[in-house]
Amino acid sequence: MAKPHQQYLVVHQTRSHEPTEYENLLAEGIERSFAAGIHDVDGLAANLNAMCVPAPSGQPWTADLFAAEMKRLGA
């Protein structure tokens, strides 16, 4: 039996479906933002807009919209 510190969850085990094109674009935008040293929500929203990553509403990304979308996608 594996010890507690040796157990892990593969992220893909928690998915109910393959990521959509939108989810892949958003993930890539977030990853690129992190790689550029951007870690705050306002900076992420601004960088997603600069990279032309579409927001679900079709409006520009804001910190509030980003937080709401992360909550929705994580549900």
Query: What pLDDT, on a 0 to 100 scale, did the predictor assign at position 11?
Result: 60
Q: Is the pLDDT of residue 38 over 80?
A: yes
Query: How far is it, in rounded angstroms, from Cα 54 to Cα 57?
Result: 8
Domain count, the chain: 1
Query: How far is it, in rounded angstroms, from Cα 24 to Cα 36?
Result: 18
Q: Is the pLDDT of residue 45 over 60?
A: yes
Is residue 5 included in any domain, yes or no? no
Is residue 8 included in any domain, yes or no? no
Query: What pLDDT, on a 0 to 100 scale, did the predictor assign at position 54?
Result: 93
Is residue 41 included in any domain, yes or no? yes
With tokens 């958003």, the residue in question is 26
Q: How do residues 15-35 score in pLDDT, each as one tens digit?
A: 677 889 999 999 999 999 999
Containing domain of residue 69, as a range? 20-74
